[in-house]
Every structure is written in structure tokens, then in C-alpha cells.
Amino acid sequence: MPKKLRLGILGGGGDSLIGVLHRVASHINDNYIITGAVFNPDFKLNKAFAREIDVPLNRVYTDFDTFIEEEMKLPESERIQVCSVLTPNFLHFPMAKKLLDNGFHVICEKPMTTSLEEAKILQKAHKNAGTVFALTHTYTGYPMVRQMREMIKAGALGKIHKVDAQYYQGWINTIIHDKKKRASVWRLDPKKAGISSCMGDIGVHAFNLIEFTTGLKVQSLLCDFNYLYKENKMDVDGTVLIRMGEHVKGVIRSSQVATGEENGLTIAIYGEKGAFKWEQENPNFLYLLSDTNPTQVFKPGHAYNSKLSLDGTKLPPGHPEGIFDSMANIYLGAARAIRGQKYNDGEFPTMLDGVRGMGFIEATVKSHKAKNTWVKI
């Protein structure tokens, strides 16, 4: 068994949403050990949380710059090798860039940056660094999403002509109507979230899922946002028409004010021979629709699944795995890449996905502002 990779964590403190997902996922396949962190900008809270989860306090730093400075003083055999960036969006770029410039491997939350320009700078830094960069579009790690990708690649649907992806949440409905509450949410603050709330936070997952599963690229789009209030600067709902070719079209529907919706990410891909339907809230069922045959249901862990799908399942069929396992699959792929081991294409989203995602987010904002016109990505 190779030694565990020394993992640093930035953000993702006890007060965060996503921290626990990364911590659990990094442990699932026994590849990482959390060695140091800046969980929180408040040093007291930072240390208290480190104590709670047993991270050595001498590797818990006051801030990110000190983290880099102190880690770089350590011999390579002790230094943190890979760092997860789990902070609010505006810190992804400066943190990931400095990590890459100092030779660290990076696992970064989406959206990768707050602009396409930053994304391109990061891409250059990554090329120079030659280290591994994984972007955590969590949903690509699900065995049934991987199965869709592999079967589409093998021609199961024939020519694709229509794609419909939806990501509906409702939680901002409980916040947006109250000015005070609205001001307390970083996702609604352009300085912290970037140019978009809804498309930047969740629409981009739907976009990524489309490109990941179909292997096609969105070439142009037309977007219509809803801000609900004039003084609210951030989209909380948006509908995007997409073109992926002359005869390949679709729609991305995304909302944070879809009242009562929880984490409703769904995708439907229609081709000349069949169609796939999958939903994140029931991730272990993949439906293959046909005009002539009864609907088939694919499930994880069965030998009929592809190598990439089976690689993401740890238990025999009927033992439900979920979002922790999906994220763990991304961590597993990144660990293989960091160790220089062989890994399958599609095991983790890359820098390229990050640049595509930022291109998508910027194009949606541009299209809406230009009174809903078609914009190229």
C-alpha cells in the first residue's frame, strides 16, 4: 500500500456546506491524510475545528499566505502535496494560482474562477506547473453518469439531437424576499461569488454534465435570467437555449427559487436510436428509453456496466452508494494522477472543464445583458 498523500484543506470549515463532503470523500479510498489547513479566516475557529477533527495544530495556519510560506520551508518529504480549495468562489483563483506556482497539486471547487480571463491565466499556470489539477464537478463521479458517457461514446443513442438538463433548487426563495437576509448570503454578492449566482453555482454543473456525458461541446447559447428584484444584482433563475451543432439543440434550466426543490439536477439526452434519463436525487437508476423496446433500467455494480462505471463502485449491486462516493471517485482519479498511475479519461474533471465552465457562465451573462441574443462560447 503506497503512503497516503498529504492533503491540505483551504476553507471547508465546520461552518461550511461542502467541507464534510471533501473530508469524507478524501478518506473513502484510503489515499489521503489531512495534514494541514486554513479551514476558516478566523484563527480561533480554525484551530477549534482542527482540534475537533484531529488535524495537527502545528500545520493549521492563520491564513493562506502563511500556509504557503510555512509549508515551503518544510522538506518535500513532509510538505503537503495536494491542496483542496473549498472557499467561496472569489478565492479559488488566487489560491489555486499560488498553489500551482509553488508546485502543489490542486483539487478545486467550481466555479473554477470568477472570470474567463482568470481561468485562462490559471490554465497557463497549470501548464507551467505540470502538477495535477482536478475540478470537483461532483456529479461526474456517479457510476451511472459514467455509464451514460461510455454508452453514448459506444453509440447507444446514435446521433444525438436534443439535450435537456435541469438544475432546480429552492433555498434562495426563503432569502431573496428579505433585504437583510439577502445581504448575508455570499452567493448573492458579486464580490464573493463572481458575475452570476444561479448559473455560476449550479447551471454550470448542468452544462458540465451535458459536455461530460455527450462528448459534444456547446457552441452557442441564448440566456434569459430572472433577478426577481431590480436592486438584486445576481441571477437566481435562468433558462438557456443551447446549440451543439446545426441539428443538435437543447436547453439548460436552472433555478435557486424553484420553490420546494432540493437538489434537482436531471438530464435527458435524446438520440436517433434511444434516450437516456438520469436524476441526481435517485442516482443509482439510469433509464434507457426506446421507441420500440420497453425502457431498460441500468444499475451500478453489475458486470454489464462499463469499466469506468464499475471502477466507481465499491460494493456489490443493491448496496446504494451516493454523493460521498461520487466525490470519492474524483479524489481517487486525482490520487492516481498524482501518483503517476494509469487512470481512465473521465475519472476527474480537469482544467479544460474549468475553462469551458467559465466560458459558459460569461456567455450566459453576456447573452442576457444583450437582451437575450445568441452568444458563442
Binding stretches for ligand NAD (CB under 6 A): 10-13, 15-18, 38-41, 64, 86-89, 91, 109-110, 136, 138, 186, 201
Q: Shortest Cβ distance from residue 328 to ligand NAD (Å)?
A: 13
The rounded distance, in Å, linking the Cα atoms of 328 and 281 is 18
Beta bridge mates, 218: none
Q: Shortest Cβ distance from residue 254 to ligand NAD (Å)?
A: 14
Peptide bond into 111 cis (omega under 30): yes
The residue (of 24 and 241) whose beta carbon lies closer to ligand NAD is 24
Residue pointed to by grid coordinates 484543506: 9
* Distances from the Cα of 17 to the Cα of 23, 237, 295, 319, angstroms: 12, 21, 37, 26
Residue pointed to by grid coordinates 472543464: 353
The residue (of 212 and 298) whose beta carbon lies closer to ligand NAD is 212
The residue (of 9 and 308) whose beta carbon lies closer to ligand NAD is 9
Q: Shortest Cβ distance from residue 304 to ligand NAD (Å)?
A: 28
The residue (of 10 and 332) whose beta carbon lies closer to ligand NAD is 10
The residue (of 132 and 288) whose beta carbon lies closer to ligand NAD is 132
Q: Shortest Cβ distance from residue 143 to ligand NAD (Å)?
A: 17
Q: DSSP 3-state assignment of 336?
A: helix
Question: DSSP strand E in 31-141: where?
Answer: 32-38, 82-86, 105-108, 133-135
Q: Shortest Cβ distance from residue 43 to ligand NAD (Å)?
A: 10
Q: Shortest Cβ distance from residue 183 to ligand NAD (Å)?
A: 15
The residue (of 15 and 178) whose beta carbon lies closer to ligand NAD is 15
Q: What are phi and psi of 209, to 5 degrees?
A: -65, -40
Question: DSSP strand E in 97-177: where?
Answer: 105-108, 133-135, 160-168
The residue (of 13 and 203) whose beta carbon lies closer to ligand NAD is 13
| Residue-wise DSSP of 291-332 | SSSPPEEE-TT-TTS-HHHHTT--S-TTS---HHHHHHHHHH
Residues in the chain: 377
